[in-house]
Amino acid sequence: MLDAAFFHRWMTTVTALVDREAERLTELDSAIGDADHGSNLRRGFTAVSAALEKEPQQTPGAVLALAGRQLISTVGGASGPLYGTLLRRTGKALGDAPAVTADELAQALGTGVAAVAQLGGARAGDKTMLDALLPAVDALGTSFAAGREAALAGAEATVPLQARKGRASYLGERSIGHQDPGAASAALLMAALADTEDTAGGAA
């Protein structure tokens, strides 16, 4: 079972990964976006980790709800409301259970991803974070490691796509040939989940 401490570690691990990869994310974003994805997410997740340190939460749902709220209020770019909605809706779907199974998390993340799609009006193939999240959620039913691989493959598969959402869509065909920064950061979120399970010694 995955308890609040596991979810807290997941968020801490994402924070470290985003911090380490912030420059790569911003580099991807400078090709087809406005060159702030890495610094925006770094600011957001740093706030998430600080908030969880200050106000430790007792349930998985509460950890994700607090994280989502922090992202919406601190990121400043579109990734704030999108990731904020993802985590908050996932947290809401988990309810107030003190611990959840891996299957329950996979299902709740599916609800969160659907909320992101609704908020942004995007679909698979639009060259957005959904191109990493949708295959990851499907693969999580198998294992967290499979989710990590699927998200990474999904992010890499955005390279040949033409962007149909956000600022990158204004570039038309010139958006082709660059990896979507949102899909790249979504792959980090899923990688952090698998890493957290690894360090927990297979707690799931």
Partner 1 sequence: MSTDAQVGIVLVSHSGPVAEAVAELARGLAAGGATAPVAAAGGTRAGGLGTSAELIADAARSVDAGAGIAVLVDLGSAVLTVKAMLAEGDELPDGARLVDAPFVEGAVAALVTASAGGDLDAVAAAASEAYDYRKA
Stretch that binds partner 1, among 45-53, 74-82, 95-103, 137-145 (CB under 8 A): 74-82
171 binds partner 1 (CB under 8 A): no
Using the contact rule CB under 8 A, the part of the chain among 66-74, 98-106, 128-136, 152-160 near partner 1 is 66-74
* 104-142: burial string, b at 16+ Cβ within 10 Å, e else: bbbbbbbebbbbbbeebebeeebbbbbbbbbbbbbbbee
Instruction: Work out which of 80, 91, 112, 154 binds partner 1, going by CB under 8 A.
Output: 80
Backbone angles phi, psi at 2, to 5 degrees: -105, 120
Classified as helix, coil or strand, 100 is: strand
The footprint of partner 1 on residues 117-136 (CB under 8 A) is 119-120
Among 21, 29, 36, 126, binds partner 1 (CB under 8 A): 36
| Contact footprint for partner 1 (CB under 8 A) | 34, 36, 40, 69, 72-73, 76-82, 84-85, 88, 119-120, 166-167
